[in-house]
Amino acid sequence: MALLKKYKDYVDSESKSDLKKWGFDNNQIHRIFKFDSFDDAMLFINSIATLSNQIDHHPDIQLFDYKYVKISYKSHDKNAVTTKDYESAHLVDKIYDGEDLW
């Protein structure tokens, strides 16, 4: 498996401002993604799993109505949203947009 390209190359210093489609509540950021099919949703989830293992930061993932995926981030050890959560969300957006991170 190819390693993620340099992590910081994909995250700019203004990553919070790039996350307009993400919501915030319950000390976490979240976004719902819609897909054309169950298979597309599962491919997205598996891509996020690969990313999460490589950067050692894992979101909560919920698949519902067969083609919707909710991704939620918070740093569990801090019980708050941290820079790493914003950076990870930024990378998830890039995966959704079809950018090759590997």
Check residues 99 and 53 and name the one with the higher pLDDT: 53
20 found inside a domain: no
| Containing structural domain, residue 88 | 35-102
Least trusted range by pLDDT, from 9-13, 20-24, 33-37, 93-97: 9-13
Please report whether residue 24 resides in a domain: no
Any domain includes 99: yes
Predicted confidence at residue 28, as pLDDT, reads 95
Outline where DSSP puts E strands in the chain: 23-25, 28-34, 60-64, 68-73
Tell me, what's the pLDDT at 17?
Answer: 55
Domain count, the chain: 1
**CATH code of the domain in which 52 resides:** 3.30.1360.20
In a domain, 52, yes or no: yes
Q: Is residue 13 part of a domain?
A: no
**Considering only CA atoms, which of 3, 15, 2, 6 is closest in space to residue 82?**
15
Residue type, 42: M
CB atoms within 10 A of CB 39: 11
Query: Is 23 within the bounds of a domain?
Result: no
Q: What is the pTM of this model?
A: 0.84
Q: What confidence category does residue 102 fall into, taking pLDDT thresholds of 50, 70 and 90? A: confident
Q: Say if 85 falls within a structural domain.
A: yes
Span 17-71, pLDDT tens digits: 578 899 999 999 999 999 999 999 999 999 999 999 999 999 999 999 999 999 9
Tokens 């919070």 -> residue: 16
Q: What's the pLDDT at 3?
A: 45
